[in-house]
Structure formats: structure tokens, C-alpha cells
Amino acid sequence: MAHPPKPAPPRPTASEDEVRLERLRERRQRHPLWRLIWANLRDDARILRQAWFPLLALLLVLAGGTLYLFLDYFPARMSCAPPLCGVDLVLALYEAIKLLIFQSGLDFPADPLGRLLFFAIPLLGLFFLLQSAIDLGRLLFDKSASPEAWQTSLARTFSGHLIICGLGRVGYRAVLQLLDAGYEVVVIETAWESEFVSTVLRLKVPVILGDARDPDVLAQAGIARARGMIAVVNDDLRNVEIALTARRRRAGLQTVLRIYNRELDANLEHSFGPNTAFNISNLAAPTFAAAAICRNIVQAISLPEDLLGITEITVAPASALVGSARSVEDGYAVRVLRHRDQAGRERRGGTTRKIAAADVLLLLGRLNALEQVRADNLPRARPPRYAQHPGARDNTIIVCGMGQVGIQVIRLLLASAPQSEIVAICTPETPQAIFTEIAQLGVRVLRGDARNLRVLEEAGLRQAYAVASLYSNDLLNVQVGLAARGRRPDIHLVLRVFSDVFAERLSALFGINTAYSTSALAAPALAAAAVLYDVGYAFDIGERLFATRSVTVQPGDWLDGRRPDDLRDQTGLLAIRLCRRRKALAPPPLAITLQPGDEVMLLGDLRALAAPHTRR
């Protein structure tokens, strides 16, 4: 008798970043021995340079005594000319050192110079010796009490690393993702008391204290040897100044900037190059929009013609998904990005591998395809409790908060869910220009406090499928969610928060994948762009950093004549969009053959995406 499949493991109580942080702590408990030796040598050289005066004076005293003994003292007593007296410089130096420490057995000289030196060498030498010992001791003590100089010595041992300027939430998450993906990082931070500094130091990441606009600070971080630099300070102007300073120090360095102003973002890319400036709202908005249409969206990629969503599904018993991975991909026009069994082990083996009940799949596809996958995965005898997507009855999507993210989400919803009614709620303080801009898009706009049930009901809460609260205030978004759920327990919520840990906690409170951290959505693109300049969207899957890259197939190149299924098996890269003669397929069929002139968007692990490829 066959045993029923074991239930899926419970969702972890720790956030993804907490799991990643614990994994990194286990992997990065200490620096490599060679790095510690090299850093200590550099740091000791720095200490010697700072204590140069007493050391130099001591050496001059010893040198003077040695020369006197070698050139005058010993030749006068042996009636010979140096070096024929049998006394060499080493012996003269040895006797000078004995004279320095009051252990000399030499006869007191009669000449004035000799008398002066025999008094001066022990007195001055002892003084400078003690002064050197005091200075070196103080500097060695400061080495442990003030770690800034030691961090600089460590950073000098790094090469091919990424420099991250600003250790806020986005910068901190980029550090974790790059470390997890196998890249080395050096951080520049203005405040040693910053929230994440101690955590980063425990991961053996050097932290340079200073202003990244200072060329000397960039030099201490190893800009001459760095692979790229990310400026994520919470100030657009400072990020631009950091990039300009870095480009002056090293013209060809790949620089990536976080920018809040969308117009500045576009203008900077004309000056600095493509994919050098990233607007947070542009990076986060596709996921918020996709999540407002579908449930259980993990991330989304915005294409010119549609949104591609990424969702995580646990295969139910007797699900239509049980079978081969190839049948799921062909039958639903989706792609399996990750496949784990019920024990959490990652399954590999290409499209022929089998999918069993309780397996966890990470799928990429169009939103309607993902909806169909979820519907077919539900037990037949138990229909879904809540609507899985906007329908004839629950057709309204309410968007609260008309900042840059909110406006961009509305534009994407209008393009991706034209059958839905979009309603925007602005605060009373929202400028009239923004109010007018949204109204001109054909969206009904209300002014009011979205925490007020009257305002939500006026916006259509009774017939709404989803409420997306996108204010730049975590508490306000939570209050809107509580108010909406208080009247409509079945309402689908999408909440914007800044802390990824808080997002995980809210998901446990309101339901899976309802709260999204803007820093979590933005950081992967910044990290990936610093490694590979022409990436598009990026996200992290476990220990790997995934990114997209658009290429045009050239005659005879490594893509010409290949099929997407062979491409994935041989290189680990997945073709998620194909544009041929102005007709786009997303994702393209696995059996289609790529031709010269095709524009292909590739998705894959960052290292595989950056690796040089040749035909096999």
C-alpha cells in the first residue's frame, strides 16, 4: 500500500535575509590566513611610518656611534687604517649597541668627539629607545581600540571586489546578496554607529569610515582594483558626486547609482551609460502591480508587452502538476526556475525530472498562465476560499498612495489588467498636478484618508479584488491593510514596507506574499549591474543572484541555431522572451530555433550570464 506524501514543511518563521545571514555567518567566520598576514604587514608598516621620528633618531645615534668606532676608535688603538684592523662594521655596530645599553667594556676615549659620543650614545639612545617603545605601544593599542585603520589595511588586500557606498537597507541587502553569490565586497560608510555596520563586520567585510566623495576614501576602499561601485546613499546629489569622483579616479569603472528622481535617472544614463542609474519605483513597481492582480507573486519582470510573474507553488496531492517538468512547462507556457523536493533538496536533471506531491516549484510565466497553474493545483473537492484574480464580481483594484511607486503601479495595471477598474486614493496633501495626471489616465481618483472605512467603501471596497497600500510609511500601510481586512476579510492586500524582515512578518499576519520590501526588490538589480553593466531586472533565489540580459543573435555566434531547451541544459541560461520580426513571445517555446536577428532576453545566474560563451 502506497503511503500518502508527507505534508509540505511549514513556512520558516525567519525571513529570507535572516536565513541568508545565518548561512553567511557559517561560511565567513574568519578571514583567509594569507589575507590576515598581508593586512598585518601593511598595518605594521603604517604603525612604523607613524612612529618614524624616534625610530629615525635612534638609528642615527647608532649609525654615528658605529661609524666612529669603525673609522676612528679601533684604528687609533690598533695603529692601522680601516678596514685592515680586523674590525668590521658588524662588530662596530655590536659594540655601539652595547654602549647604548650601558654594557660596553671599551676604554673611555681621550679625544673630545669620542668623549661626547660615549656620553651621548647611552643617554640619547636610551631616550629615543623608550620614546619608540611608548609610541609603538600606543599605536598597537590603538590598533585594537580604533579599528578604522585596520579596516583600511584589510581593504588593501582585496582585488576584483565591489565597493558599496552607503550601508542603508538597500546597501546592506546588496552586500548580503553579493556575498551569497560569491563576490567580495568593501563598504564605505560615514557613521561607524550605523545600524548594519556591526553585522557586516562580523561577515568579515571591511568597512571604510569616511565620505565616499573623498578621493582618498575611495582609494582606501581599493577603487583602483575594484570590479565596480554602487552608490546607495539616501541622497541623489551625493550619489552623483560619488560617481563623478569615482570616474575621475578610474574612468572605466562600472558605477551604479540609486536615484529617486525619475527624470534624473533617465538623464544620468545618457551621461554615465546604460544601467548606471536605477530608480527605486521603476524597480519595485512591476512586482506591486503583478501582486495586485495575482496572489502569491514573489517578483515580477516588466516587458514591453506584459508582466512576467514569479510565483512559488507547493504541489498538492493529486495535482495536475504531478508528472514531468517538461509537461508542466509545455502545458502552461511557464518555466521552472527552481524545483525542491519536500525535504528542501534542490532537484536538477533538466525537463525530464519528475514533479511529485509536496514538491515546491518556483515558476515564471505570464500572469494568466500562473493563475491557471494555481487553479489546477487546488484540490478538486475544495474550491478556493477567495478569488484568485480579478473577475466579474471582484473587479476593482484600489491603489492608495500616489508617490512615484503608486503612479508607476497604476500605469502598469492599466496596461496589464485593462478589464479591471482602477481607483486611486490620494491624501488631502497630494499636489493638484499629481491628482490631474492620474485622472487623465482614466482612473477614478479620491482624496481622503485610506484608513477611513468610508473612504475605502467610496472607492469600491465591497466589489474590490485587491487593495494596494503604497505609502512611504510602513505604519500607515499596515493601518490601511487592517482597515480593509476588518470590513472585507477576503480582500487581497499588497503592502509596501521598507524592512524586508517586517515584510516577512506581515506576510505571516495577512497571508503569503502580501507585503513587499522596496529595498528587497531594488537591491538585486543594483548588485547585478555593478557586476555586469547591461543587466535588466534581477532577483535572488536562495544563494544565487539571477538577472536578465538582452542580446541580439548574430550570424554564427554562440546563440545562432540553438534551441531554448538546449541552451538551458548547456549553459544554465533561460530564454524568457524572443522578439522575431517585431513579434514577441514570452516565454518562447522550448523547441524553437534561434535565428540571426532575433532579440532574446536571457535569464540566469549572474556568473553564468557574465561568463563568455562559445558554441558547443
Same structural domain for residues 588 and 458?
Answer: no
Same structural domain for residues 489 and 410?
Answer: yes
pLDDT (average), residues 37-50? 70
Summarised one tens digit per residue, pLDDT across range 504-544 is 777 767 665 588 888 888 899 999 999 988 888 899 887 78
Same structural domain for residues 287 and 423?
Answer: yes
Asked if pLDDT for residue 616 goes beyond 60, the answer is no
Summarised one tens digit per residue, pLDDT across range 439-455 is 899 899 999 999 999 99
Can you tell me the distance from the alpha carbon of 182 to that of 176, in angstroms, rounded to the nearest whole number? 10
Asked if pLDDT for residue 351 goes beyond 70, the answer is no
**In the prediction, which pLDDT does 552 show?**
93
Same structural domain for residues 424 and 377?
Answer: no
**In the prediction, which pLDDT does 1 show?**
37
pLDDT (average), residues 120-135? 68
Same structural domain for residues 419 and 499?
Answer: yes
State the cell numbers at 393. 464580481
Q: Which of 306, 405, 278 is nearest to 364 (CA)?
A: 306
**In the prediction, which pLDDT does 361 show?**
92
Q: Could you tell me what percent of the chain has a pLDDT over 70?
A: 83
Lowest mean pLDDT, pick from 37-46, 399-408, 487-496, 573-582: 37-46
pLDDT (average), residues 471-475? 89
**In the prediction, which pLDDT does 97 show?**
78
Question: How does 48-60 read in b/e, with b if 16+ C-beta sit within 10 Å?
Answer: eeebeebbebbee
pLDDT (average), residues 580-605? 92
Q: Say whether the peptide bond before residue 54 is cis (omega within 30 degrees of 0).
A: no
Cα separation values, 536 from 229, 242, 302, 546, Å: 17, 23, 10, 10
> What value does the mean pLDDT of the chain take?
83
Distance of CA 299 to the CA centre of its chain: 16
Can you tell me the distance from the alpha carbon of 177 to that of 510, in angstroms, rounded to the nearest whole number? 27
Asked if pLDDT for residue 10 goes beyond 50, the answer is no
Summarised one tens digit per residue, pLDDT across range 360-405 is 999 999 999 998 898 888 766 455 555 566 766 778 999 999 888 9
Q: CB atoms < 10 A from the CB of 219, how many?
A: 15
Band of the pLDDT at 197, cuts 50, 70, 90? very high
pLDDT (average), residues 418-425? 92
3-state SS class at 315: coil
Backbone φ and ψ for 495, nearest 5 degrees, come out as -120, 135
Band of the pLDDT at 574, cuts 50, 70, 90? very high
**In the prediction, which pLDDT does 6 show?**
40
Same structural domain for residues 59 and 207?
Answer: no
Can you tell me the distance from the alpha carbon of 368 to that of 538, in angstroms, rounded to the nearest whole number? 22
The DSSP H or E segment spanning 554 is: none
Domain of residue 499: give its range.
282-295+386-518
- Angle subtended by helix axes 280-293 and 262-272, to nearest 10: 120
Asked if pLDDT for residue 141 goes beyond 60, the answer is no
Asked if pLDDT for residue 13 goes beyond 80, the answer is no
Same structural domain for residues 62 and 206?
Answer: no
The DSSP H or E segment spanning 493 is: strand 492-497
Can you tell me the distance from the alpha carbon of 607 to that of 616, in angstroms, rounded to the nearest whole number? 19
Backbone φ and ψ for 425, nearest 5 degrees, come out as -115, 120
- The answer to whether residue 592 is domain-embedded is yes
Cα separation values, 50 from 31, 84, 138, 224, Å: 26, 41, 11, 24
3-state SS class at 577: strand
DSSP H helices in 33-157: 33-50, 52-68, 74-78, 89-100, 112-145, 148-155
**In the prediction, which pLDDT does 467 show?**
95
Lowest mean pLDDT, pick from 6-10, 216-220, 279-283: 6-10
- The answer to whether residue 302 is domain-embedded is no
**Positions of E strands within 214-334:** 228-231, 254-259, 277-279, 297-302, 307-314, 323-324
- The answer to whether residue 393 is domain-embedded is yes
Predicted TM-score of the model (pTM)? 0.79
Judging by DSSP bridges, how do beta strands 515-517 and 599-605 pair with one another? Answer: unpaired
Q: Could you tell me what percent of the chain has a pLDDT over 90?
A: 38
Domain boundary (335, 362, 382) is at 382
Asked if pLDDT for residue 297 goes beyond 70, the answer is yes
- The answer to whether residue 401 is domain-embedded is yes
Band of the pLDDT at 311, cuts 50, 70, 90? very high
Same structural domain for residues 316 and 374?
Answer: yes
Q: Percent helix, strand and coil across the chain, each rounded to 5?
A: 45, 20, 35
> If you write DSSP's letter for every residue of 157-207 in order, what string do you get?
T--S-EEEE--SHHHHHHHHHHHHTT--EEEEES-TT-TTHHHHHHTT--E
Same structural domain for residues 462 and 500?
Answer: yes
CB 17 within 8 A of CB 173: yes
**In the prediction, which pLDDT does 387 show?**
58
Band of the pLDDT at 270, cuts 50, 70, 90? low
Asked if pLDDT for residue 3 goes beyond 50, the answer is no
Higher local confidence (pLDDT), 601 or 272: 601
Band of the pLDDT at 352, cuts 50, 70, 90? confident
Q: Say whether the peptide bond before residue 274 is cis (omega within 30 degrees of 0).
A: no
Same structural domain for residues 55 and 84?
Answer: yes
Same structural domain for residues 363 and 472?
Answer: no
**In the prediction, which pLDDT does 512 show?**
53
Cα separation values, 346 from 61, 228, 323, 341, Å: 70, 31, 17, 7
| CA torsion through residues 516, 15, 523, 168, sign | positive
Asked if pLDDT for residue 220 goes beyond 60, the answer is yes
3-state SS class at 532: coil
Q: Could you give the number of structural domains in the chain?
A: 5
pLDDT (average), residues 175-180? 92
Band of the pLDDT at 426, cuts 50, 70, 90? very high
- The answer to whether residue 474 is domain-embedded is yes
Same structural domain for residues 370 and 419?
Answer: no
